[in-house]
């Protein structure tokens, strides 16, 4: 899979591509990447990449021409050939990262991980001209309800969420029990030492009893999801992902019987 990033600050995503598991995936040839500096496509002597917005208002917008030339350089075609809402760059999906896009989720990350190439446009200033969005962009994606000063961190967050789902990057077992994979948050985890700062690892995890550990973990996942993200429980229920066992545990967590003082911790 290939990631192409169009940016005014290539050093920001570069640090991610050159380190850790991503660097290994690149070395193995599972992932390829290209960083394109939009400023290289500004033709005036000052390499200007911003301009005033029509209609006035605070701030500047990214200039259209350097961005279009950068898109051309990486073979992204305008949407004129788009049919029935399908993307026209068959092997590329073009993403503009923006706070006004659809929120990134694990489901979207899975969907993107099946593409051959993702091309990211990182905005700066107040963003990009709407006509660039209309003519080139397949998806507008936000990484959350807050505003960053430019798109490189957002693009890098999306790339990180996607590449680790590509076959061969990390083990499929590690992915199976992660937060969101089956609609719930992850259970708490512990490593050595057995007692840390006076706090002991829950006894059940030392018992070696796999079935009890599985049940404890499921209960902890449900407790955590109910506490922090109750809407995920409703979603998992609607998607048929809550087993009878999980529903029973939810009942116990939300309406604890006065006699049950047992926590397993
Ligand atoms: N004027 C824009 C607005 O109000 O929606 C904000 C522009 S922001 C200062 C500059 C750039 O940072 C955006 O064009 C976008 O590429 C990126 N950005 C900022 N926050 C983001 C977020 N939450 N998700 C994705 N990209 C973001």
The domain boundary, picked from 173, 188, 214, lies at 173
Residue whose CA lies nearest to ligand 1 atom number 1 = 126
Residue whose CA lies nearest to ligand 1 atom number 23 = 99
The pLDDT value recorded for residue 65 is 97
Q: Whose structure tokens read 């007692």?
A: 195
Q: State the Cα–Cα distance between residues 63 and 174, nearest whole angstrom.
A: 43
Q: State the Cα–Cα distance between residues 93 and 74, nearest whole angstrom.
A: 12
The reply to whether ligand 1 has any atom less than 6 angstroms from the CB of 126 is yes
Which whole-number Å values give the CA distances from 259 to 154, 248, 250, 253, in the listed order? 49, 16, 17, 13
The reply to whether ligand 1 has any atom less than 6 angstroms from the CB of 150 is yes
The minimum-distance atom of ligand 1 relative to the CA of 143 is 24
Question: Does residue 116 have a pLDDT over 90?
Answer: yes
Distance 152 CA to ligand 1 centre (A): 10
- Mutation test residue for ligand 1: of 7, 9, 59, 97, the one with most atoms within 8 Å of CB: 97
Q: Could you read off the pLDDT of 123-152 as tens digits, one per residue?
A: 999 999 999 999 999 999 999 999 999 999
Distance 126 CA to ligand 1 centre (A): 7
Question: Within this chain, do residues 139 and 181 fall inside the same structural domain, yes or no?
Answer: no
The domain boundary, picked from 173, 206, 239, lies at 173
Question: Within this chain, do residues 72 and 145 fall inside the same structural domain, yes or no?
Answer: yes
The pLDDT confidence band at residue 182, using thresholds 50, 70 and 90, is confident
- Mutation test residue for ligand 1: of 67, 98, 105, the one with most atoms within 8 Å of CB: 98
Q: Is the pTM of this model over 0.95?
A: no
Question: Within this chain, do residues 56 and 89 fall inside the same structural domain, yes or no?
Answer: yes
The CATH number linked to 187 is 1.10.1270.20
Distance 67 CA to ligand 1 centre (A): 16
Number of structural domains (the chain) is: 2
Question: Within this chain, do residues 14 and 139 fall inside the same structural domain, yes or no?
Answer: yes
The pLDDT value recorded for residue 181 is 81
Q: Per the domain annotation, does 139 fall within a domain?
A: yes
The reply to whether ligand 1 has any atom less than 6 angstroms from the CB of 7 is no
The reply to whether ligand 1 has any atom less than 6 angstroms from the CB of 144 is yes
Question: Does residue 177 have a pLDDT over 80?
Answer: no
The reply to whether ligand 1 has any atom less than 6 angstroms from the CB of 97 is yes
The reply to whether ligand 1 has any atom less than 6 angstroms from the CB of 148 is yes
Range of the domain at 182: 177-254
Q: Could you read off the pLDDT of 1-42 as tens digits, one per residue?
A: 999 999 999 999 999 999 999 999 999 999 999 999 999 999
The domain boundary, picked from 130, 153, 173, lies at 173
The pLDDT value recorded for residue 260 is 66
Question: Does residue 60 have a pLDDT over 90?
Answer: yes
The pLDDT value recorded for residue 86 is 63
Q: Per the domain annotation, does 89 fall within a domain?
A: yes
Question: Within this chain, do residues 63 and 136 fall inside the same structural domain, yes or no?
Answer: yes
The pLDDT confidence band at residue 235, using thresholds 50, 70 and 90, is very high
The CATH number linked to 85 is 3.40.1280.10
Distance 149 CA to ligand 1 centre (A): 6
């Amino acid at each position: 899979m290939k990631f192409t990033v169009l940016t005014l600050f290539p050093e920001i995503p570069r640090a991610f591509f050159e380190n850790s598991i991503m660097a290994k995936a690149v070395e193995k040839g599972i992932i390829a990447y290209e960083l394109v500096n939009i400023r290289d496509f500004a033709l005036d002597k000052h390499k200007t990449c911003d301009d005033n917005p029509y209609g006035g208002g605070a701030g500047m917008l990214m200039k259209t021409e350097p961005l279009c030339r950068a898109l051309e350089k990486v073979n992204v075609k305008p949407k004129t050939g788009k049919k029935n809402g399908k993307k026209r760059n068959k092997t590329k999906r073009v993403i503009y990262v923006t706070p006004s896009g659809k929120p990134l989720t694990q489901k979207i990350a899975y969907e993107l991980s099946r593409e051959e190439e993702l091309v990211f446009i990182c905005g700066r200033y107040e963003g990009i001209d709407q006509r660039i969005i209309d003519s080139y962009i397949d998806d507008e994606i936000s990484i959350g309800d807050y505003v960053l000063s430019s798109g490189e961190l957002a693009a890098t967050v999306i790339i990180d969420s996607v590449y680790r789902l590509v076959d061969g990057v990390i083990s499929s077992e590690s992915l199976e029990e992660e937060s969101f994979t089956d609609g719930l948050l992850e259970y708490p985890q512990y490593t050595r030492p057995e007692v840390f700062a006076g706090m002991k690892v829950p006894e059940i995890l030392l018992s070696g009893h796999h079935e009890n550990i599985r049940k404890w973990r499921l209960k902890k996942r449900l407790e955590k999801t109910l506490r922090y993200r109750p809407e995920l429980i409703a979603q998992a229920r609607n998607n048929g992902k809550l087993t009878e066992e999980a529903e029973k545990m939810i009942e116990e967590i939300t309406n604890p019987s006065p006699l049950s003082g047992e926590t397993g911790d």
